Structure 1
Amino acid sequence: MIDNAGNTIEKNNCLLQALVQLQDHNLALLFANYLATLSIETEVVTQQQNYIIYCDQNHLAQAKAEFEAFIKQPYHSKYQQAAWQHGETVKVSRDDLTLLKAFKENFLAHAGIVTLIVFAFCWLVFIGSLLGWAESLFSTLKFYNHLSIDGFLQEPFRLLGPAFFHFSWLHIVFNTMWWWQLGGSIEKTLGKGTLINLLLITAIVSNLGQFLVSGPNFGGLSGVVYGLVGFVWWVGYLAPERGLTISKPIIGFMLFWLLLGFAELLPVNMANTAHLLGLLSGCIFAVLLVKTAKK
C-alpha cells in the first residue's frame, strides 16, 4: 500500500520507490515490463489521469538510466520484445487508453510497411473467402498442379500464393499475429530487405516441400512463421548484439507443436513438411546472414 508520502509502496516484501509519472498507460506498461525482464521489481499505479512507475529502490539508479534511453526510442524492438516475452496480464480500466488508440500506438508502431502489407493481404484474402469467393481465391493462389518451367514463367506468384490463403479463424489469427510479432521485430531491427528475403526463401522452400509430399491442396503462412522463429532464434544465439531474441519457452512450444503435427495428435490437418522446412530454411538463412556480416 502507498505510504503517507505517496512515493513508496510495498510489493512482495520489497520496497518500491516512485521512478517516473507518465500520461500514457501503454508506455508505462511497456517500460515496466522491460524492467521486469531485467529482474527489477516494478509496479504501475494509476493516479487520476496519470500512471506512476514504481521500482525496487535498490535498483533506482539503473532504472533511471534505462528510462532515459527508453524515452528516446520507446518503440524500439527490444522493448516490444521484452514486453512480449514477459507477457504480463493487465486489467484495463475506464481511465485507460481506448482500444483504438492502444491499437494505433502499439500494433502499428511495432510493424514496418512490409509486415503490415503481408498482414493486411492475408486478412483481405480470408475475408474474401468468407464472403463467398473462397473457391476462386484458392484456385488463384494455390500451388502448381504440376511443376514445369512454362508454369513458373506464366504464373510465378504461385510459388508464394499458398502462404496467403487460410482455412479458418484460428489458422489466420495464429499465423498473422506471429507474423506481426516476429516479422515486425525483424523489419525494425534488420530492415525491409532482410524480411522480404526471409519471406521469399521460407515461403518458396516450405511450399515446394509440402507440394512434393502432399500435392497442391494446402495453404497458410505457417511455414513462413516457423521460418521467422528459426531465424530470430539463431540470430539471437549467434549475434545477440543485434537485439533479436525469442524466449526458450516459445521455442519449446513451437517445436512441441511441430512434433504433435508429425505424430498426428492434433484435431486438424497440419502442413507438417512446410513447418519443418520453413524452420530449417529460417535457421540456415540466419546462420548465413550472421557469418557473412562478420566476414
Structure 2
Amino acid sequence: MAKLRQSDVNKAKPRDTKYKLWDEGGLYLLVQPSGVKSYYLLYKDPNGKKREIKIADGGSSLQEARGLAQMWKGTAARGSDPQKKFKPGPNDRPKIEVVKDPTVRDVRNAYKAYLMPDDDSIIPPLKNGSKTIGQIDAMRLFTGFFDKHFSQIDYSVIQQYVTFAKSARRNREITINGRLRHFCVMWNWGIKNKLISDRYQPPENYKLQEKDSTKRVRYLTPEERERLYRALDEREKERGIDYLKTAVIVSNYTGIRQNALLAYDIG
C-alpha cells in the first residue's frame, strides 16, 4: 500500500459520504462530508481483536500522526489496550481512558517524527532536529532507560544516569547537562501534546555545576616573575644595561598577559 503524502492530506476534498485515505501500518485519514478530517489507527488489542482509535485531528501534520501511531502501536504490542473502556454504572455514560504514561522510547519516536519529517513530506525538518534526537539517543546507553515509563522517572533516576554518564562514559558535566536539557524539552513537548499525563512533570534542578577543564594561566605567578627578573639581571651582566628589564617590569605591573610578556621583543 502506497504511503500518503502531506499534499494528499491537504488536497483531500469532502464527498457525499465519508471516506478513508490509507497510510501504512493501519493509519488512515477519515474525511467527513462536512470537510472535517481526522486521523485514525487500526490495530489489534491484546486479545487479537481489531479495533480503531482516533489519534489526532486533521490539523495535525501527517508526520505527527505517524509518530502518534507508532506510540499507540507500541503500547498495544506490550499487551496494553490504548483505549480501555470502563464498565458504565446505571447513571454513567461510557468513558474511554487514554493511556498517558508511555515509555521514553514511545515518546522519542513521536518526537523524532515531529522534528524530522520524511523526505516525501512538504514540511521541512526543524533546525537541529537531528542533533536533538542524537542527544536523547545517547541516553539509551543507560541500561533500561528507554523502557522506563515517565511515571517511573524521578530525581533519583536522573542521578543514577548522571553517575553512569560520569563514571562509565566519562562524560563531562556540560555534555550531561545538554542531554538532560534536550530530554526535558521532549518531556514537556509530550505533556503539551497530551502524550504524557501532566501529573508526571520533569525533574527540576537537575543541572550540574560545570567545571572548566580548559583553565588558562593568563599571568605570571610570583615564582615565575622572580625567575624572569633573575634572568634579566644575568642578561644585563652579559650584554650591558638596556631598556628590556625596565620595559618588562612596567609591563608586568600594568597587566600584560603571560603570552605577550614572554614574546616581548624590544628590538
Higher RCO by CA contacts (8 Å cutoff, separation 6 or greater): 1
Is the pair's TM-score, using the shorter chain for normalization, greater than 0.5? no
Per the normalisation by structure 1, the TM-score is: 0.23
If each structure's helix is expressed as a fraction of its own residues, which one has the higher value?
1
TM-score between both structures, scaled by the size of structure 2: 0.25
